[in-house]
């Protein structure tokens, strides 16, 4: 990857849709993914392996995965919260099927939120995620991990940087492909982001890449992405149109928009690999299917 470039992970099909009240048909999800591939997305979070009663929008995970284009230049990611999720991800590859390429594990940096999100204390989350990463590797499945609520918790408030870094150190011991910090409820500000990613970079010492995942609940998401870039992050999650939200985080809103992140980076001389006009067209296409405009400011200004 060139010095002046980033990798964008398109999380619209999973994180972007999981909070939508109306169930999106599998065919529409696949059409959305097709448009994302067309505008240059090459890493896509396409589904999560969670209980359908908890997140009904993801009940068709296996059907969506079975319909994915078999492209050698694309990486398909599935979110998992436990070993059962890892096993479901592995099952998508049975019989020679393409299936999922990489699992995304999640640990929450807040005991209360962790209990509500996946029924785990921080200590239990550390043990479970370490075991999941190890098991996935043994089965030939790539794995990365996200530390959720790294910048604040909807139930406990402030999250101490030392808590996040201690979790990161535990996760790093298993050698995941990436460690991400997620501002799940969009409370972070650039100074906080720069400090925490700077400290994480020092902890990892270049051994494991960092990834950033921001929500724009308080309008700081894009500024936070720039702060993370300045702190050495080169991999960013974003969602088409700024869709998203967490079913277990009250008042959480969407991810930073793919279009907004691409506009900022490209105008700053940083390559994203994404064709902005095509992303805006995909935004307008999906907005018609939802019956409302999507949050992305760049797409609205187009």
CA distances from 199 to 98, 181, 196, 210, 258 (A): 37, 12, 5, 11, 26
Can you tell me the distance from the alpha carbon of 6 to that of 74, in angstroms, rounded to the nearest whole number? 16
The residues, ordered by sequence, that sit 6+ positions from 31 with a Cβ below 8 Å of its Cβ are none
Q: For this structure, is 246 an active site residue? A: yes
Q: How many CB atoms lie within 10 A of CB 25?
A: 12
Alpha carbon 6 to its chain's center: 15
CA distances from 137 to 32, 108, 149 (A): 30, 22, 26
- Supply the DSSP string of 54-78, one letter for each residue: T-GGGTTHHHHHHTS---TT-EEEE
Residue in this structure with the two tokens 């936070």, named with its chain if needed? 224
- The catalytically annotated residue of 246, 249, 264, 280 is 246
Indicate which residues carry an active-site annotation.
246
């Amino acid at each position: 990857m060139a010095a002046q470039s980033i990798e964008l992970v398109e999380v619209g099909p999973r994180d972007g849709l999981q909070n939508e009240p109306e169930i999106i048909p599998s065919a529409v999800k696949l059409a959305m993914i097709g448009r994302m591939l067309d505008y240059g997305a090459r890493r896509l979070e396409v589904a999560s392996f969670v209980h359908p009663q908890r997140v009904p929008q993801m009940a068709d995970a296996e059907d969506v995965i079975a319909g994915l284009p078999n492209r050698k230049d694309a990486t398909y990611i599935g979110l998992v919260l436990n070993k059962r999720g890892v096993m479901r991800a592995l099952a998508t590859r049975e019989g020679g099927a393409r299936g999922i390429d990489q699992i995304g594990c999640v640990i929450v940096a807040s005991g209360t939120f962790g209990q509500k999100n996946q029924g785990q204390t921080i200590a239990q989350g550390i043990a479970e995620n370490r075991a999941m990463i190890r098991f996935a590797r043994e089965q030939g499945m790539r794995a990365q991990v996200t530390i959720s609520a790294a910048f604040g918790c909807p139930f406990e408030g402030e999250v101490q940087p030392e808590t996040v870094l201690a979790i990161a150190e535990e996760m790093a011991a298993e050698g995941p492909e990436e460690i991400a910090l997620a501002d799940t409820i969009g409370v972070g500000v650039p100074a906080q982001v720069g400090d925490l990613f700077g400290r994480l970079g020092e902890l990892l010492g270049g051994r494991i890449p960092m990834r950033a995942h921001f929500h724009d609940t308080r309008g700081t998401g894009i500024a936070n992405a720039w702060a993370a870039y300045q702190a050495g992050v080169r991999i960013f999650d974003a969602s088409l149109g700024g869709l998203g939200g967490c079913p277990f985080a009250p008042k959480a809103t969407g991810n930073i928009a793919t279009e907004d992140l691409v506009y900022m980076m490209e105008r700053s001389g940083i390559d994203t690999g994404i064709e902005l006009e095509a992303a805006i067209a995909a935004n307008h296409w999906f907005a018609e299917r939802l019956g409302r405009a999507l949050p992305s400011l760049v797409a609205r200004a187009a």
